Structure 1
Amino acid sequence: MKRLSAFNKVVFVLNAIAALLLLAACAVPYISNEKFSFLSFLSLTVPLLVGMNFFSLLFWMLKRRRQLWLSLFVLVFGYFTLGTFLKFNFWGEDLQEEDLSIMSYNVRGFNRYNQLDNPNVFEDVKSLIDKEQPDIICFQEAGYTRKKEFLDDYPYQYLDYIYMDGKVLLGIFSKYPIVNRDFVCFPDSPNNAAYADILYKKDTIRVYNVHLQSLGITPGKGIIQNKPKDKLFKMLNENFKIQQQQAKMLEADMKTVNYKQILCGDFNNTQFSNAYKIIKGDKVDTFIEEGSGYGRTLNFHGIPVRIDFILADPEFEVKSHKNYDEEYSDHFPIMASFKLK
């Protein structure tokens, strides 16, 4: 430090802060939100912290300074602890007719409240589905009144109205018979999960459709700018705790059956969160397996984030994963295909 110029000292201090925050973020998936929920904020900033450390590493490399070891260490440690958020897949497989394909999409009520200047959102979504022809669709924030309009291609459905004020509707549409279905009802929350047991190739698989607690900072509503910072922090803190509780409820429910399982949904948090780690367990993330690029499923105040996931038991071989760019909601659809091993 003594041999550094004043400018380089400032850079190193900022570098050290970014390195310490990234190290702290590495602990977030492994600690309880009940006691350390304030650290959960870091799970939302991992790509930013990685970028800051990467450019710090380049800076010190160009300067040929030993300070480069700090960022190099935390980047390597972070990679082995958290995994990657960028995928380079130049040999991705195309969807095969014999594969099982599943699409997950938070459709935001098919633009029921006109958040988008597009009166034909439902028709556009249906056209996308007609083109891609997924075998199973999991909608979050689905519109109950649209249920009958999918009957032609998806004769097996689970989209029941929930007689609880404000509950988010989840829809599961299948080309294969549904033999059992139910909710995993999250208490004291508008969010919930649903599942359907589906007959597929003489086997029964369980498909979960999940919508975890929203953090309450939806883009476009001015919450971050207008809400007092102490109240905003308290609200986020509480919602992180609720997400963990909901994740544990799902984890417990998944242990009640021996069916092979696929889980889709909007987690309202990233892959670096405690909730994601609990739900994922030993499942595989289809984007990590066969995705490409950044995997964005939502633009959060202009920042691309991946908060929608498709997870599957190891008995499924992930054949493909696709992210879409169609803007029919605040979220973007994702689809994956599988082959039973």
Structure 2
Amino acid sequence: MSFWSKTVYGLNILFSALLFLACVVPYTKSASLSFLSLTVPLLVLVNLLFLLYWLMVSPKRVWLSFTVLAVGYFVLGSFVQFNSMDKSASENVLKVMSFNIQGFEGHPTEMTRPNIQVFEDFIQNQNPDIICFQEFGYRRIWKKLFVNYPYRFINRQKYSKEAGVLMAIYSKYPIVDKGNINFPNSGNGASYVDVLYNKDTVRVYNLHLESLKVRPRSIKRERSDRLLGRLRNSFAKQQEQADLIRNHMDLVNYKKIVCADFNNTQYSYAYNAVKNDMKDSFEEKGFGYGRTINFWKFPLRIDFILTDPGIEVLEHENYNVKLSDHEPIMATLRIGADKEAVR
């Protein structure tokens, strides 16, 4: 091999090893390896480029990238979906939206904060039955906000002195129970409501796992060892919070829906711990890449709607709207009767 070929093959080995390690991340609590969960699409793309390069230059060296890509596909699945949606379903369906609204502050690239009417118009046009808001914003706890939703649960009262990120759930269906799940040593948290839907009780969780607290400006002025240490701490907290949520969910014997900003991808331990045997609405009925945020200008899917196996996912929609740093998602669901779950 020439010096150039040796260099390329050495890089090929490095990126193949990183993708292989990424396959381990969903099944381990190593906070140091958790960085790789954010890079899976990039690692797949780089290994595809290596595969194409060796196909043209030296086919016998294709096996390395081909093997790790095959392992990655069967272990991690695909981050691109080509599902068809059941647009004909309009009756007896439940539309659930998840939206990290960033305190109604607007998209970071926009110079002006959007008027509250812009948010209300968007919600009214999409007409979800249940909305889970993360980072709701203290200044917007108004009784007249989203008047089409008579039932609501905001995890803190107006003018509350409690610290933490505000969460809100709005519903067109009666809320018969509600509560908070507090995360230890964290400003993030989770809440839930039990909704009475067609004589059945459905538990809806609203999750906002530990934020990475990384901004482009902080990267430039912060020491790399401190930045990495802070990120490891955030990943470790996400794993702890995910286990807490999963243990809470295991005690519920009726159907569950999870709306979540995991602050991590579907290749993380946190996502897999919460998801368990649930369905991911994007994997079931999504189309394309499914981006919900740009992280350092790289598109990632970190917002999710998960449902119990007994709930049929009919549609999944990603909305490319600049109302927040996150993009909202909505799933259209069909929930069959479950007499044992009636309360």
- Taking the aligned partners of 1:202 and 1:309, their CA distance within structure 2 comes to 26
Whether 2:135 is the aligned partner of 1:141: answer yes
Whether 2:85 is the aligned partner of 1:92: answer yes
Which aligned pairs between 1:95-244 and structure 2 lie closer than 5 A?
96-111=90-105, 116-144=110-138, 145-161=140-156, 163=160, 165-218=162-215, 220=216, 222-244=217-239
- Taking the aligned partners of 2:143 and 2:106, their CA distance within structure 1 comes to 17
1:109-167, Cα deviation, whole Å (9 max, x unpaired) = 00189874233342212111110100000000112434423352100000142645431
1:207-250, Cα deviation, whole Å (9 max, x unpaired) = 000000001113x5x11121101111111111111111100110
- Taking the aligned partners of 2:108 and 2:245, their CA distance within structure 1 comes to 32
- Taking the aligned partners of 2:170 and 2:18, their CA distance within structure 1 comes to 42
CA RMSD of aligned residues (A): 1.7
Which aligned pairs between 1:1-341 and structure 2 lie closer than 5 A?
4-32=1-29, 36-89=30-83, 91-94=84-87, 96-111=90-105, 116-144=110-138, 145-161=140-156, 163=160, 165-218=162-215, 220=216, 222-341=217-336
Amino acid at match of 1:267: F
- Taking the aligned partners of 1:113 and 1:119, their CA distance within structure 2 comes to 8
Contact 1:297–1:331 (CA under 8 A) maintained in structure 2: yes
Contact 2:106–2:322 (CA under 8 A) maintained in structure 1: no
Percent of paired sites with the same residue: 45
Q: Which runs of 5+ in 1 are unaligned?
A: none
- Taking the aligned partners of 2:8 and 2:85, their CA distance within structure 1 comes to 40
Contact 2:266–2:302 (CA under 8 A) maintained in structure 1: yes
1:154-184, Cα deviation, whole Å (9 max, x unpaired) = 0000014264543111100000000000000
- Helix, strand or coil: the match of 1:37? coil
Contact 1:111–1:121 (CA under 8 A) maintained in structure 2: no
Q: Which runs of 5+ in 2 are unaligned?
A: 337-343
1:10-41, Cα deviation, whole Å (9 max, x unpaired) = 11111110000000010001012xxx211111
Task: Give the TM-score normalised by structure 2.
Answer: 0.93
- Taking the aligned partners of 2:229 and 2:161, their CA distance within structure 1 comes to 26
Amino acid at match of 2:171: S
Q: Structure 1 residues 260, 60: closer, same or farther in 2, change over 3 A?
A: same
Partner residue of 2:339?
none
- Taking the aligned partners of 1:107 and 1:201, their CA distance within structure 2 comes to 29
Partner residue of 2:341?
none
Q: Structure 1 residues 156, 165: closer, same or farther in 2, change over 3 A?
A: closer
Q: Structure 1 residues 114, 304: closer, same or farther in 2, change over 3 A?
A: closer
- Taking the aligned partners of 1:149 and 1:23, their CA distance within structure 2 comes to 52
Task: Give the TM-score normalised by structure 1.
Answer: 0.93
Amino acid at match of 2:255: K
Contact 2:134–2:167 (CA under 8 A) maintained in structure 1: yes
- Taking the aligned partners of 2:224 and 2:113, their CA distance within structure 1 comes to 36
1:83-113, Cα deviation, whole Å (9 max, x unpaired) = 1111123x32226243111000000000189
Contact 1:116–1:329 (CA under 8 A) maintained in structure 2: no
